[in-house]
Amino acid sequence: MNKAINYNNTNQVRQIGLDVLERELGIAGLLIFLKQFDNGYGDYTKERTKSLADFTIESIVSGIGKS
């Protein structure tokens, strides 16, 4: 690549990166690659705390071996 890259310009870096990915992977591959970086939604910490609220050390220990 002969083009001078201004690494302080994040828009330029992003665009060049997308161009390279599209050239090398094709548009379908580019989209599959980008889907790996989805931030998701919700509040993982709150959901995990709620889903694990009923677990205690005793319930976990007693559950070992029952499966």
**What ranges do the domains of the chain cover?**
10-63
What's the pLDDT score for residue 32?
94
pTM of whole model > 0.85?
no
Cα gap 29→22, rounded to integer Å: 7
What's the pLDDT score for residue 60?
86
The answer to whether 33 and 21 are in contact (CB under 8 A) is yes
What's the pLDDT score for residue 21?
96
- Taking only the tens of pLDDT, the chain with its 67 residues reads 557 899 999 999 999 999 999 999 999 999 999 999 877 788 989 999 999 888 889 888 888 887 6
Cα gap 26→28, rounded to integer Å: 6
